[in-house]
């Protein structure tokens, strides 16, 4: 990627140093993470909060520089909330709920993302990737005994052995050797780990190119996604604008097929086009360029994300077009999925077959994301005359024909359902439910009242009840029989399975003896198609593992045994 820095960002890029103490010996770690970007740092933090040690190898000496990912979804915020950094992101980020698209200078679409009182987090925030990484680093510094970030440390080779992965690392001209039980490749689109294993991404690489520019601009424009098709400032092509913190605006504009990309990215060619666009939208104030780079859309992925003891995460596993903001958000979901499974294998004795589900689930999610991303890309940057004609027809009709407007919608990222997975209940009562979150889907959020075992009350949203590494068993009803059976079911499970029981009651239990939530007006029961005795078992990543009309100790243990395997399975049978 061709990049040019024109002016310092209003952000302090702290240069960090690391010291290696191996003195020629092979250092051993449970998990080695190659790459200290969003994916690697999220994985390290998600492991640390579950008590699993890791070492992160980062080739640079600071967080990322330049204009990269800028949109963080609600799903990602829910993950970061479990990891303890959502507050910092929300304080710095700019929340937004809607976007506008224009054909030339006429508005043809105004879309809104779901946002109501059932949600406590915005559907999207804009925040620069370097802030996300910085907040992750600061959180990791509080877990110094569980994670070590080795800055200026580049992975240069690896060898898989029986039960471990040996990696060679270069740091300040010296070589060091690390041996990990597991290796997570979070080293980006040009993954060294992927190359070392002889693997290739497969899919579609688009020819169209976009210039990406960050500028400082003081304006009263709202925080929303703005898109122009065939505007006077970029005839025949597209322009996107996003507000970021610190009065920075991200401007992406498509260059023509006859333009030389290397020349198109030169400041003398970029700045006049930005000026023309700002004048077109009546922004006449002062502005200053910060950064210029070139982007080409790719829809590529590995077929499998696990290769023996190596896992691929984020851009190392898949490259998703930027339209719909699936890149960094997919990487965060990857890390969240892998972390709880690694923690259960490394720290809780679960069988290694649990880790196969990381590949099957996240490779499936990547295929879904690529499919949606390709649809958006083919509209934003038509790859042929046929797509160009279709887009022109849609845009021409959109102002008078609402039925075609969904074709303009950028299809923003959303959580992907895992319809089939070994990490879901193989036998539950799914077919007996008429609606509600299905097995393999994320929870539907809503506000509740939490009552602890001492009767203390607090307002909370459902997704805030999730804790790193814990299953959450939700059992509906005030009746003592269901409560007694559910309590017995959980008590008979091995403690290392970490299943937390929570009753969902229509009123406060008396006397208070068990933590529970009050479902005022039975709204959650209606949303979840729940009757007295209905049970939902939720995985640590917020996905529904299974749901039952009634749940016994044997049914619960059998469902978990079918997934966890290994030592934990044997312990339960003993």
HEC profile of 218-245 = CCCCCCCEEEEECCCCCCCCEEEEEEEC
User: To the nearest whole number, what is the mean pLDDT of the chain?
Assistant: 90
CA distance 144 to 44: 11
Selection from 52-61, 110-119, 385-394, 399-408 with the highest mean pLDDT:
52-61
Q: Could you tell me if 445 and 537 lie in one domain?
A: yes
Region 457-472: mean pLDDT is: 96
Q: Could you tell me if 481 and 364 lie in one domain?
A: no
Instruction: Identify the DSSP state of 465.
Output: G
What's the domain count of the chain? 2
CA distance 272 to 474: 58
pLDDT at 392: 84
Which residue, among 92, 83, 185, has the nearest Cα to 136 in the 3D structure? 83
Cα-Cα end-to-end distance for the chain: 57
**Cα 228-229-235 angle, rounded to 5 deg:** 110
Q: What percent of the chain has pLDDT over 90?
A: 68
Greater confidence (334 vs 384) lies with 334
CA distance 55 to 339: 14
**Is the distance from CB of 38 to CB of 327 less than 8 angstroms?**
no
Instruction: Judge whether residue 516 has pLDDT over 60.
Output: yes
Asked whether the CA dihedral 74, 79, 80, 86 is positive or negative, the reply is positive
CA distance 395 to 408: 8
pLDDT at 400: 81
pLDDT band for position 569 (50/70/90)? very low
Strand partners, 301: 202, 318
**Which among 343, 362, 380 is the end of a domain?**
380
pLDDT at 571: 40
Q: Could you tell me if 42 and 178 lie in one domain?
A: yes
CATH number at residue 469: 3.40.30.120
- Domain with 493, as residue range(s), is 430-573
Region 217-245: mean pLDDT is: 92
Q: Looking at the domain assignment, is residue 136 inside a domain?
A: yes
Q: Could you tell me if 84 and 178 lie in one domain?
A: yes
- Other Cβ atoms less than 10 A from the Cβ of 506: the count is 15
Q: Looking at the domain assignment, is residue 38 inside a domain?
A: yes
Composition of the chain by helix, strand, coil, percent to 5: 35, 30, 40
Instruction: Judge whether residue 574 has pLDDT over 60.
Output: no
Instruction: Judge whether residue 383 has pLDDT over 70.
Output: yes
Q: Looking at the domain assignment, is residue 138 inside a domain?
A: yes
Q: Could you tell me if 450 and 372 lie in one domain?
A: no
pLDDT at 512: 58
Q: Looking at the domain assignment, is residue 141 inside a domain?
A: yes
**Is the distance from CB of 140 to CB of 147 less than 8 angstroms?**
yes
Q: Could you tell me if 512 and 372 lie in one domain?
A: no
pLDDT at 501: 92
Q: Could you tell me if 306 and 183 lie in one domain?
A: yes
Q: Looking at the domain assignment, is residue 406 inside a domain?
A: no
Angle between helices 74-83 and 327-348 in degrees, nearest 10? 30
Tokens 């069988």 correspond to what residue?
351
Q: Could you tell me if 359 and 435 lie in one domain?
A: no
Q: Looking at the domain assignment, is residue 237 inside a domain?
A: no
CA distance 391 to 408: 9
CA distance 149 to 54: 9
Q: Looking at the domain assignment, is residue 10 inside a domain?
A: no
Query: pLDDT of 260-294, one tens digit each?
Result: 999 999 999 999 999 999 999 999 889 999 999 99
Instruction: Judge whether residue 368 has pLDDT over 80.
Output: yes
pLDDT at 301: 96
**Which among 352, 380, 408 is the end of a domain?**
380
CATH number at residue 332: 3.50.50.60
Instruction: Judge whether residue 245 has pLDDT over 90.
Output: yes
Q: Could you tell me if 505 and 361 lie in one domain?
A: no
Region 300-327: mean pLDDT is: 92
Q: Could you tell me if 362 and 435 lie in one domain?
A: no
Instruction: Judge whether residue 573 has pLDDT over 50.
Output: no
pLDDT band for position 362 (50/70/90)? very high
Which residue, among 101, 77, 417, 450, has the nearest Cα to 241 in the 3D structure? 101
Q: Could you tell me if 456 and 319 lie in one domain?
A: no
Q: Looking at the domain assignment, is residue 489 inside a domain?
A: yes
Region 374-398: mean pLDDT is: 81
Q: Please count the residues of the chain.
A: 574
Q: Could you tell me if 434 and 499 lie in one domain?
A: yes
Strand partners, 148: 55
């Amino acid at each position: 990627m061709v990049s040019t820095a024109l002016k310092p960002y209003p952000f302090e890029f702290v240069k960090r140093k690391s010291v290696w103490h191996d003195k020629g010996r092979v250092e051993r770690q449970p998990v080695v993470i190659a790459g200290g970007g969003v994916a690697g740092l999220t994985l390290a933090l998600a492991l640390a909060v579950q008590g699993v040690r890791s070492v992160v190898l980062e080739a640079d000496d600071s967080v990322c520089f330049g204009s990269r990912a800028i949109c963080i979804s609600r799903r990602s915020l829910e993950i970061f909330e479990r990891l303890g950094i959502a507050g910092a992101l929300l304080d710095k980020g700019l929340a937004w709920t809607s976007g506008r698209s224009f054909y030339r200078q006429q508005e043809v679409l105004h879309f809104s993302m779901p946002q109501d009182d059932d949600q406590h987090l915005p559907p999207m925030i804009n925040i620069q990737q370097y802030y996300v990484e910085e907040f992750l680093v600061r959180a990791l510094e509080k877990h110094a005994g569980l994670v070590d970030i080795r800055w200026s440390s580049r992975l240069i080779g690896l060898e898989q052995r029986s039960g471990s992965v040996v990696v060679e690392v270069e740091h300040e001209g010296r070589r060091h050797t690390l041996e990990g039980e597991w290796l997570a490749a979070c080293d980006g689109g040009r993954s060294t780990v992927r190359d070392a294993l002889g693997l290739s991404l497969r899919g579609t690489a688009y020819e169209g190119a976009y210039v990406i520019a960050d500028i400082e601009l003081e304006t009263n424009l709202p925080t929303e996604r703005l898109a122009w098709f065939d505007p006077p400032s970029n005839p025949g092509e597209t322009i996107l604008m996003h507000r970021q913190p610190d009065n920075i605006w991200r401007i992406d504009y498509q260059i023509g097929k006859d333009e030389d990309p290397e020349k198109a990215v030169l400041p003398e060619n970029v700045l006049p086009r930005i000026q023309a666009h700002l004048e077109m939208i009546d922004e006449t104030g002062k502005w200053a360029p910060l950064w210029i780079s070139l982007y080409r859309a790719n829809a590529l992925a590995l077929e499998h994300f696990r290769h023996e003891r190596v896992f691929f995460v984020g851009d190392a596993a898949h490259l998703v077009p930027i339209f719909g903001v699936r890149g960094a958000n997919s990487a965060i979901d990857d890390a969240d999925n892998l972390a709880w499974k690694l923690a259960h294998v490394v720290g809780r004795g679960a069988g290694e077959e649990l880790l196969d589900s990381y590949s099957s689930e996240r490779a499936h999610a990547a295929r879904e994301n690529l499919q949606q991303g390709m649809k958006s890309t083919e509209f934003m940057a038509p790859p042929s005359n046929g797509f160009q004609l279709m887009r022109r027809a849609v845009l021409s009709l959109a102002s008078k024909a609402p039925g075609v407007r969904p074709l303009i919608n950028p299809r923003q990222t959303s959580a992907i359902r895992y319809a089939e997975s070994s990490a879901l209940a193989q036998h539950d009562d799914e077919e007996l439910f008429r609606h509600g979150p299905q097995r393999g889907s994320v929870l539907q959020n809503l506000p509740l009242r939490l009552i602890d075992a001492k009767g203390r009350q607090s307002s909370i949203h459902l997704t805030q009840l999730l804790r790193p590494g814990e299953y959450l068993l939700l059992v509906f009803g005030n009746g003592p029989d269901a409560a007694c059976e559910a309590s017995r079911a959980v008590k008979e499970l091995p403690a290392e399975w970490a299943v937390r029981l929570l009753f969902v009651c229509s009123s406060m239990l008396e006397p208070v003896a068990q933590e529970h939530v009050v479902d005022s007006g039975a709204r959650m029961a209606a949303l979840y198609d729940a009757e007295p005795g209905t049970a939902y078992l939720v995985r640590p990543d917020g996905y529904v593992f299974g749901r039952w009309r009634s749940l016994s100790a044997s049914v619960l243990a059998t469902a978990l045994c079918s997934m966890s395997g290994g030592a934990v399975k044997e312990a339960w049978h003993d």
